[in-house]
């Protein structure tokens, strides 16, 4: 109860007394009997009202103290989030999420840099996560994933920029003995691995560009390879870094082989020329021979934030940490793919993130100055 409430009680009591005066002859009863008792009642209420007033003031004081403590938690929250970036990595069993985890491990610097690797529905979904999922600043994608967004996001190549060309994923078209050319696969069963994998997305896209219409299946490659042995499947398509254990260690009857795919203008937008060597698959490729194929670049990309934005500054700091510590990823204990990383390598179809280009330019100027 406040001082204002006390005045309301007092006003009500006095109003009641005035009414009583009109209701009694000449107010004699009020003067001699009612008013002294009302004044006694008010006197008794004063300590109670004051006590309630003090209690209310104490509660307000405690509330003020609570508000003063709140900024401590707010500051801690802001500190934790200030230099945290989200990195979409793909399926838990895939290579990209493993690379994302290794990146997070190497660039970690407490509150100064914190990377959150994010498991998604697959590398082909990572671009979608980068464009639309909150908290995602970067993603590991296959370069041809951009093809799907040309219609729905016409400016896709301005909204996404690459930081690093991680590694090439070579196309392996592995066929039964009776298959001699790509044309022999028309209308036959060809497996592209399970949905969400690079082969399941890029494989059909590449076959479409080749003009080869096949009976596509999307089952685990281990199952499809057994079906191939029995003659139930004509071919399997792998898109991954060579060498592939299934071909390197597996025993295959004579005639099982890789079909060549020649790199030409139809692949210039997203792909790179590549080859499968006898040293990589000695049981399937004769010594001195080489099977031409193409590769899908796997790239680390970022949303192309405005240069002065907070999100841009986070990614720019991430670039500094990653590029300056790339040698740590090439040490024992990390994926062997890191050893072939070239920071200056480009990614077809994309421009380099400006902070990454700035880092490379500074390094080049530093080398020139030291010579």
User: Structure tokens of 310?
Assistant: 């907070």
Residue 88: which of 122, 46, 118, 131 has the closest Cα? 118
Q: What is the helix (H) or strand (E) element at residue 75, kind and residue range? A: helix 35-82
Average pLDDT score over residue span 47-70? 54
Confidence band of 70 (pLDDT split at 50, 70, 90): low
Q: Is the pLDDT of residue 7 over 80?
A: no
Q: What is the helix (H) or strand (E) element at residue 84, kind and residue range? A: strand 84-90
Confidence band of 8 (pLDDT split at 50, 70, 90): very low
Return the DSSP state at 109. B
Q: What is the predicted pLDDT for the residue at 22?
A: 39
Which segments of 192-276 does DSSP mark as H helices, in order?
198-210, 221-229, 245-248
Confidence band of 21 (pLDDT split at 50, 70, 90): very low
Q: Is the pLDDT of residue 118 over 90?
A: yes
Q: What is the predicted pLDDT for the residue at 48?
A: 54
Segment of 18-32, 114-128, 306-320 carrying the highest mean pLDDT: 306-320
Task: Give Cα separations from 241 to 37, 63, 169, 290 (angstroms).
Answer: 98, 61, 4, 16
d(CA 62, CA 70): 12
Reported pTM: 0.74
On whether the CB atoms of residues 296 and 271 are closer than 8 A, the answer is yes
On whether the CB atoms of residues 214 and 207 are closer than 8 A, the answer is yes
Residue 295: which of 361, 351, 340, 228 has the closest Cα? 340
Average pLDDT score over residue span 35-47? 55
| Lookup result for tokens 């071919």 | 235
d(CA 277, CA 242): 10
d(CA 131, CA 217): 29
Comparison of pLDDT for 188 and 152, the residue scoring more: 188
**Lowest mean per-residue pLDDT among 231-235, 240-244, 278-282:** 240-244
Q: What is the predicted pLDDT for the residue at 39?
A: 53
3-state secondary structure of 149: helix
Comparison of pLDDT for 28 and 318, the residue scoring more: 318
Q: What is the predicted pLDDT for the residue at 46?
A: 55
Segment of 32-41, 228-237, 332-341 carrying the highest mean pLDDT: 228-237
Number of H helices, E strands in the chain: 12, 10
Q: Is the pLDDT of residue 160 over 60?
A: yes
d(CA 270, CA 141): 12
* Max Cα–Cα distance, the chain, nearest Å: 131
């Amino acid at each position: 109860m406040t001082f204002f409430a006390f005045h309301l009680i007092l006003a009500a009591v006095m109003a009641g007394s005035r009414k009583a005066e009109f209701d009694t002859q000449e107010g004699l009863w009020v003067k001699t009997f009612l008013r002294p008792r009302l004044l006694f009642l008010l006197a008794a209420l004063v300590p109670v009202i004051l006590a309630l007033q003090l209690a209310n003031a104490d509660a307000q004081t405690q509330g003020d103290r609570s508000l003063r403590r709140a900024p401590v938690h707010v500051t801690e929250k802001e500190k934790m989030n200030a230099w945290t970036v989200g990195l979409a990595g793909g399926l838990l069993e895939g290579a990209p999420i493993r690379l994302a985890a290794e990146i997070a491990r190497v660039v970690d610097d407490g509150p100064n840099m914190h990377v959150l690797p994010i498991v998604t529905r697959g590398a082909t979904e990572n671009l979608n996560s980068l464009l639309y999922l909150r908290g995602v600043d970067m993603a590991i994608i296959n370069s041809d994933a951009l093809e799907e967004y040309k219609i729905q996001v016409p400016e896709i190549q301005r909204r996404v920029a690459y930081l690093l060309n991680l590694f090439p994923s070579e196309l392996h078209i592995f066929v039964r003995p009776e298959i001699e050319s790509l044309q022999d696969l028309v209308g036959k069963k060809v497996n592209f691995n399970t949905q969400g994998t690079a082969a399941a997305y890029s494989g059909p896209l590449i076959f479409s560009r080749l003009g080869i219409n096949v009976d596509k299946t999307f089952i685990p490659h281990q199952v499809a390879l057994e079906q191939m042995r029995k003659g139930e499947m004509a071919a399997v398509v792998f898109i991954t870094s060579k060498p592939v254990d299934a071909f390197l260690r597996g025993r295959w009857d004579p005639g099982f082989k890789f079909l060549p795919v020649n790199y030409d203008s139809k692949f210039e937008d997203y792909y790179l020329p590549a080859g499968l060597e006898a040293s990589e698959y000695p049981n399937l490729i004769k010594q001195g021979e080489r099977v031409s194929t193409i590769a899908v670049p796997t790239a680390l990309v970022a949303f192309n934030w405005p240069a002065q934005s907070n999100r841009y500054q986070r990614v720019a700091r991430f670039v500094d940490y990653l590029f300056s510590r790339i040698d740590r990823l090439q040490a024992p204990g990390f994926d062997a793919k890191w050893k072939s990383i070239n920071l200056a390598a480009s990614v077809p179809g994309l421009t380099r993130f400006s902070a990454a280009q700035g880092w490379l330019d500074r390094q080049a100027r530093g080398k020139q100055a030291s010579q």
